Amino acid sequence: AVLQPGLQIKCMIIDHDKLNGRIALATKTLEYEPGAILKDPAAVFAKAEETAEKYLAKMEEEKQAREAAARDIVLGLGDSLDGLGLDDDKSDDD
């Protein structure tokens, strides 16, 4: 085991299950490089706040990119439906 029982650590809450009253914790998201927790846990914990801020900023950027891509897809679908006779504003009785 990398961490011993009773050791004080810093970690991030990565999931919260309100229904079951559980949370998921991780130290991996605080690593400034993969495997850092194995090499120097004290350095990981010392840089935890800084690394967490970077991680959260990256997650927000990725979320914004996904939302923009989804918006582009939806808007593109609207354009591809033009001319298919699905316009509700026009009536065949005219």
- The count of other CB atoms within 10 Å of the CB of residue 82 is 8
| % of the chain at pLDDT higher than 70 | 80
Q: Average pLDDT of the chain?
A: 85
pLDDT of residue 50: 94
Digit-coded pLDDT (tens) for 30-68: 999 999 998 999 999 999 999 999 999 999 999 999 999
Reported in sequence order, the residue ranges of the chain that DSSP labels E, i.e. its strands, are 12-17, 22-26
8 three-state secondary structure: coil
pLDDT of residue 33: 92
Whether the pLDDT of residue 16 is over 90: the answer is yes
The pTM of this model reads: 0.64
